[in-house]
Structure 1
């Protein structure tokens, strides 16, 4: 299909949501393996919800503040000292995680890698697009994501035919020849949503280019004062979020809202701080960068249709009231 062709993969399995896709991926690759799921403490709660469903423990490592992505050095140190079932890697904010190095580590330690590229479809790192490095790679297809759709949806990419066949069964209760052999999910994408996703794919690069121009205008105004997660020079970005680190973030958000400037936070707490994490998740060493990001990250408006004048107004306002963290 078109989505698989775009990413250069053999199979794309459409699903009801990225969370459903992560549930299927973790079930397929991790359920029968001993050990914990290794992931980053900075990320969306769906990462731990999916592992919680199959009662797999999770070990969190730190991120880097330069890119906001999982820290490869911490991953390697954790792999040396812990029994790990699989490596879960999320590429966040439109930026590619260090996928080449992480794929090498997964192969070196003989574990599968799950790639979550819901926020970064269209980004690239050294050897290819995000979404092409995992044994199973999952993305969201949603109105506010780089791969846009008209409703909640997602896709699983893989080059493994047996994995793809299993996921196709898994998205419809795990039925095989009429028999449900495993307790899986009901996660099919509707034909209407699939058609909209296909249509959206034809505009994918155009919209990415529009976001790139807005992102660069923010950089011209703000990057000399504020820092935030940015793609490495050799990598390509999907320009999904423009984030800066500010002091008194929540107060700044209120002040901006009073001036008709909406903002976001991605994400306001670490994965360790969710109530559902109790007794289920632990950290490998400390994760200070994850806590710093959670406390200080501020995402400014970045969507197609914003004008240069609007970007300039946002930047002027931010420079007047915000202080870099």
Structure 2
């Protein structure tokens, strides 16, 4: 065992003094304004997010799960419908789908990228007894799935695509940001995200004005006018002004932080591991939200990192179709998904990692 302090998996306390001062100033501005919910800070953030992404509109919400749920609700998903998604991404889309009274159904993933592809989506559509009402493409670990090809398959079937960009915000394909390919996209501002706040928050993005209007209504009780409820499935999902102000500050640093993450990931890719596989490659389509490796003997590989004092985690250990909540009469053939959940684990990845800490992670990788 090393006598050095452990390398943390993440550390949200490592903000630099300039960032802390800027956030404190922004929070003070909100406190002095007397406006704490859906005010000018939210409006400013929505405009900045839409501009950054190249989306028509951005709409802030209470959290990322609400963003998924309200996106699906805006697309008309309801009781008796199904939503196609992957089963290796933590279960968030499945939760949002069930909240609408709908049923999650699953496609398998590519065994190398661990993402859905046009082929896996098409294969699922061919085997399902009826077409899903929507397809959710999760850009897992910060890597963009081949969303253009998936959208083409979905368009053939007349099914709208939702992009889940919670882990990939800022990633691009040939200069076009993820989140602009489907009918609607979502993100989360949970503190550990690449673009995170200091509490909960989320947003949706769309170029469809009607969808945007539906989500704006649904986030506030389904109102058409104040105190006039016009839409079903409305709720209170409003982002507070303090979180909006904090996320706006963080947005200004996002590209630089993502670049630092990619630099760290490149170190991991070239660390010389032979018995484990670093899943992703650092390029513009990958924000390095998580640094994920695969090992056929996961417990043994994690033990090597423990010996070097490097913290690890697993994202994600239980596939959606294997969760206890799943109906017992449902069976799914998802071999690549099941292999992934049995073999993946994550190593430290956040932009404030020190170079000596990155060195130690690389030393552990080199032992493998």
TM-score, length-normalised on structure 1?
0.91
Measured in 2, the distance between the counterparts of 1:199 and 1:280 equals 48
1:213 aligned partner: 263
Shift in alpha-carbon separation, 1:32–1:148, aligned structure 2, 3 A: closer
Query: Contact (CA 8 Å) 1:171, 1:187: kept in 2 or not?
Result: yes
Measured in 1, the distance between the counterparts of 2:65 and 2:331 equals 21
Shift in alpha-carbon separation, 1:261–1:99, aligned structure 2, 3 A: same
Shift in alpha-carbon separation, 1:258–1:184, aligned structure 2, 3 A: farther
- Quote the offset at 1:257 in angstroms: 3.8
From 132, 151, 157, give the equivalent of 1:109. 157
1:219-270 residue CA offsets vs partner (Å, 9 max, x unmatched): 110455532422597x621111111111332454355346431112111111
- Quote the offset at 1:71 in angstroms: 3.1
Query: Contact (CA 8 Å) 1:117, 1:138: kept in 2 or not?
Result: yes
From 237, 242, 246, give the equivalent of 2:295. 246
The reply on whether 1:294 has 2:363 as its aligned counterpart is no
Measured in 1, the distance between the counterparts of 2:314 and 2:181 equals 27
1:1-325 matches, cutoff 5 A: 1-31=47-77, 35-82=81-128, 83=130, 84-126=132-174, 128-177=176-225, 178-181=227-230, 182-222=232-272, 225-231=275-281, 236-253=285-302, 256-257=305-306, 259-278=308-327, 283=332, 286-320=333-367, 322=368
Query: Contact (CA 8 Å) 1:66, 1:228: kept in 2 or not?
Result: no
Query: Contact (CA 8 Å) 2:271, 2:365: kept in 1 or not?
Result: no
Measured in 1, the distance between the counterparts of 2:319 and 2:237 equals 27
Measured in 1, the distance between the counterparts of 2:87 and 2:102 equals 16
Further displaced range: 268-277 or 252-261: 252-261
Measured in 1, the distance between the counterparts of 2:355 and 2:275 equals 19
- Quote the offset at 1:91 in angstroms: 0.4
1:47-85 residue CA offsets vs partner (Å, 9 max, x unmatched): 100111112122211111221111321211222343221
Shift in alpha-carbon separation, 1:257–1:179, aligned structure 2, 3 A: farther
Shift in alpha-carbon separation, 1:91–1:280, aligned structure 2, 3 A: farther
- Quote the offset at 1:151 in angstroms: 1.4
- Quote the offset at 1:317 in angstroms: 2.6
Structure 2: give runs of 5+ residues left out of the alignment.
1-46
Q: Alignment partner of 1:218: what SS?
A: helix
Measured in 2, the distance between the counterparts of 1:248 and 1:226 equals 9
Structure 1: give runs of 5+ residues left out of the alignment.
none
2:44 aligned partner: none
Query: Contact (CA 8 Å) 1:3, 1:12: kept in 2 or not?
Result: yes
Q: Which has the larger radius of gyration?
A: 2
Measured in 2, the distance between the counterparts of 1:200 and 1:305 equals 14
TM-score, length-normalised on structure 2?
0.80
Shift in alpha-carbon separation, 1:21–1:58, aligned structure 2, 3 A: same
Query: Contact (CA 8 Å) 1:98, 1:125: kept in 2 or not?
Result: no
Shift in alpha-carbon separation, 1:250–1:44, aligned structure 2, 3 A: same
Query: Contact (CA 8 Å) 1:214, 1:302: kept in 2 or not?
Result: yes
Query: Contact (CA 8 Å) 1:57, 1:280: kept in 2 or not?
Result: no
Report the number of matched residues. 318
- Quote the offset at 1:142 in angstroms: 2.4
List 4+ stretches of structure 1 deviating above 6 A: none
1:265-301 residue CA offsets vs partner (Å, 9 max, x unmatched): 1111111111222259653xx2111111111111110
